[in-house]
Structure 1
Amino acid sequence: MANLGGFDSGRNTHQAGGPTLLPVPSLLRSLLSEHLDPGYAAAANSQRPRSKPAEWAWQIIAAAAVVTVFSLAWAQAQSAAPRVRESQQALASNVRSAEANNAVLADRRARMSADVDAQRRSRLEGDATGRRLLGDLDRADAAAAVTPLIGPGLTVTVTDPGTSPDLTDVSKQRLPGSQQVILDRDLQLVVNSLWVSGAEAISVDGVRIGPNVTIRQAGGGMLVDNQPITSPYTIVALGPPNAMQDAFARSTGLQRLRLLETSYGVGVSVSAGDGLTVPAGSVREVNFAKQIGPN
C-alpha cells in the first residue's frame, strides 16, 4: 500500500513493515486538496451578505424614498391641475370667440358683395356696352368660382372606415398608427380626375374648389381651403352627368377609391343627379373701384 507523502513530511526513508510513502511536492498536494485559491477565498469571505437586520434597513430606506418621490409628484400634479383646466377653458373660449367673429365677418362680406353686385348691374345694364361688360364679368366670376351654381352632375361620397387592422398599402404611404385611411392626396386625385372627366364646378363638403384652394391634412384633420371637413366626404361636380360618369369610371381617381374600398373597407358611392348645387368660393383679392366721369 502506498500513500502520498511529501518532502516536508519527515518520512522520506522506508520503514520495514510500514506503508510505502511516495514523495509528493507540497504545491501539488495543495492543488489536489485545496480547490479555491486563497485570494479568491479571502475575497469571497469579504463579500458575505449583510445580516438580515441591515438588509431590511436598506430595503425600508429604499421603499421610503420611492414613496416620497411619488408623493411629491402626486402633490405637484394636484396643485397644477386647476391651472391646466383654467388654461384649457381659456383657450376653448378664445377659439369659440374667434369662430363667432369669423362667422360675423363672413356674413358681412357676403352682404357687401351682394350689394356691390347689385350696384354694378344697375349701372351697367342700361346700354349695350354695359351689358357686354356684365357678360365678361359673369364669365370671369364663373372661372374664379366666386358665384354659386346649380345644375346636373355627379355626387361622389367617400366614407373613411376609421381604425383598420392593417394599413399596409401598395403605396406604402398610409399613416402608421393613424385611424385615417383616406388621406389628402386621395381626395386631390379624385378632384383632379373629375376635372379631367369634364366637371365645370366642384365642391368638397360644401367648400368650393377654385383658384388657390388646397386640400391638405394638418395634425390628422382634413382641410379644404383651410376649412375643416370630416368623413363622409361629399364631392359634388357639375357637368354633363352621363359623359362625366363614363370618363370618371375609367379615371385613376375612381380606381384608387376602389382599391381602398377592397383593401380597407372605404365606402365609395358615385351617383348622377339634377339640381345639384355648389356654393360660391372665397374671394382671394379685394378690388377697389371709383367712378370716373359723370353719373
Structure 2
Amino acid sequence: MEYTSGAASWQKALRRLVGGLLPRRPRQRRPLWSVGVPLIALAAGLLFTTTATTAGGTALREDRRPQLTELIEDRRAQVATNEERAAALRGEVESRTTDLADSDGPIKEQQERADASRTAAGFTALTGPGLIVELDDAPQSGRLPDGATNDDLVVHQGDVQAVVNALWAGGAEAMSIENVRVLTTSAVRCVGNTLLLHGRVHSPPFEIVAIGDPAVLRQALAASEGVRWFRDAVDNYQLGYSEEVATVTVPAFEDSTTLRSATVPQ
C-alpha cells in the first residue's frame, strides 16, 4: 500500500482513476523484423566463420587468368612437340617406303600413284598469282559506337568462313589461313575472338591467302552475301578488311590426314 499526502497525492489519485475508467489498449505484437534480424545476424556470422575456415588464409576469388594463360601455353607446347614427332615419323615411313619400292613392284606403283596426287591433295607448297585478304577486330577505343555491342567489334567464325567459301567458289587452287594450309577437310572454328585451326590457336588479324585468278577471286568476294555483311560492319564499326593482289606462296599441308569416315565415289 502506498500513502500520499498534499496536492500531489490528489493529482496522482485522479490520474489513476481516469486511467482505470478508460479502455485499455491491446498489447502490441512484436513486429516480424525484430525476430528476423537476430536470425539473419546469426546466419551471417555462421557464413563468415565457414568462409574463413574454408579459405584457410587464402583468397577464394583468386584471379585464374594467369593459370589459364599458362595452361594454354603448355598445350601449345605439347601440340608443337607432337607435330614435330609426327613429322619425324612421317619422314621415316616415307624413307622406308622408298627403300622397299626399289625391290617391290606393287609398292613402287602405289608410291608413284600417291606422288601424282600430292599436289592436288595439298601436300606440296605452291606459288602463283593470287589474293591476300585480311580480317581484323575494331580498334579498342574504350567507347562503343551507338547501338553496338562488344560482339559487333570482333571477327567471328562466320566472317572467316564467308571469305574462305567465296574464295573456293572463285576457283582458288590452294589456300592458307595464318600460313596454315587449308584443305577440304579443314574446319574453321572460333573460340572467343581467337581462331582454332588444326589444333593451333591464332589471334587477329587473320590473313587468308589464295592462289588463283585475282580478278575472279575479287568478283567472288564481292558476290558473297556474308562478305558484304562484314564490309558493312567495317563501315559501321571500324572493323578491318583489306584485299591485296600479289604473287603468293601457300605452304604444304603438314598435319594429320587421318579420316574418321570416307566413301568411294560411284
What TM-score comes out, normalization by structure 2 length?
Answer: 0.65
How far is the alpha carbon of 1:266 from its aligned partner? Answer: 1.0
Runs of 4+ displaced beyond 6 Å: 57-60, 82-85, 87-94, 121-125, 129-135
Q: Deviations over 1:61-80 (max 9, x none)?
A: 46853662453254145328
In structure 1, distance between residues paired with 2:161 and 2:181: 13
| Counterpart selection for 1:209 from 162, 182, 188 | 182
Taking structure 1 as reference, are residues 231 and 221 closer, same or farther at Cα in structure 2, changes over 3 Å only?
A: closer
CA contact (8 A) 2:128 2:248 kept: yes
Q: Secondary structure at the match of 1:151?
A: strand
Which region of structure 1 is more displaced relative to structure 2, 104-113 or 220-229?
Answer: 220-229
In structure 2, distance between residues paired with 1:60 and 1:108: 67
In the other structure, the counterpart of 1:185 is: 158
In the other structure, the counterpart of 2:243 is: 270
In the other structure, the counterpart of 2:28 is: 47
Which region of structure 1 is more displaced relative to structure 2, 157-166 or 205-214?
Answer: 157-166
Q: Secondary structure at the match of 2:86?
A: helix
In the other structure, the counterpart of 1:224 is: 197
Q: Deviations over 1:36-60 (max 9, x none)?
A: xxx9x95xx432778xxxx9x9798
Which region of structure 1 is more displaced relative to structure 2, 200-209 or 144-153?
Answer: 144-153
How far is the alpha carbon of 1:269 from its aligned partner? Answer: 0.7
- Gapped regions of structure 1 (runs ≥ 5): 1-38, 169-175, 287-295
What one-letter code is carried by the residue in structure 1 that aligns with 2:216?
A
How far is the alpha carbon of 1:216 from its aligned partner? Answer: 1.9
In the other structure, the counterpart of 1:248 is: 221
How far is the alpha carbon of 1:246 from its aligned partner? Answer: 3.8
CA contact (8 A) 2:137 2:205 kept: yes
In the other structure, the counterpart of 1:137 is: 114
In structure 2, distance between residues paired with 1:95 and 1:81: 25
In structure 2, distance between residues paired with 1:233 and 1:90: 26
In structure 2, distance between residues paired with 1:251 and 1:179: 19
How far is the alpha carbon of 1:110 from its aligned partner? Answer: 1.7
In structure 1, distance between residues paired with 2:123 and 2:107: 20
Taking structure 1 as reference, are residues 148 and 280 closer, same or farther at Cα in structure 2, changes over 3 Å only?
A: farther
In the other structure, the counterpart of 1:148 is: 125
In structure 2, distance between residues paired with 1:252 and 1:205: 23
CA contact (8 A) 2:193 2:203 kept: no
How far is the alpha carbon of 1:183 from its aligned partner? Answer: 1.6
How far is the alpha carbon of 1:219 from its aligned partner? Answer: 5.8
How far is the alpha carbon of 1:230 from its aligned partner? Answer: 1.4
How far is the alpha carbon of 1:138 from its aligned partner? Answer: 3.7
How far is the alpha carbon of 1:91 from its aligned partner? Answer: 7.9
How far is the alpha carbon of 1:200 from its aligned partner? Answer: 0.9
What one-letter code is carried by the residue in structure 1 that aligns with 2:205?
P
In the other structure, the counterpart of 1:104 is: 81
Taking structure 1 as reference, are residues 88 and 263 closer, same or farther at Cα in structure 2, changes over 3 Å only?
A: closer
How far is the alpha carbon of 1:203 from its aligned partner? Answer: 1.3
How far is the alpha carbon of 1:262 from its aligned partner? Answer: 1.8
In the other structure, the counterpart of 1:31 is: none
In structure 2, distance between residues paired with 1:238 and 1:245: 12
CA contact (8 A) 1:209 1:281 kept: no
Taking structure 1 as reference, are residues 132 and 180 closer, same or farther at Cα in structure 2, changes over 3 Å only?
A: farther
In structure 2, distance between residues paired with 1:152 and 1:114: 30
In the other structure, the counterpart of 1:283 is: 256
In the other structure, the counterpart of 1:18 is: none
Q: Deviations over 1:187-236 (max 9, x none)?
A: 11110000111211111122221132111234664322342221111111
Which region of structure 1 is more displaced relative to structure 2, 102-111 or 228-237?
Answer: 102-111
Taking structure 1 as reference, are residues 88 and 73 closer, same or farther at Cα in structure 2, changes over 3 Å only?
A: farther
Q: Deviations over 1:79-133 (max 9, x none)?
A: 2847997x999887776555433322211222333454466668779xxx99997
- Gapped regions of structure 2 (runs ≥ 5): 1-22, 260-266
> What are the residue-to-residue correspondences of 1:151-166 with 2, within 5 Å?
151-161=128-138, 164-165=144-145
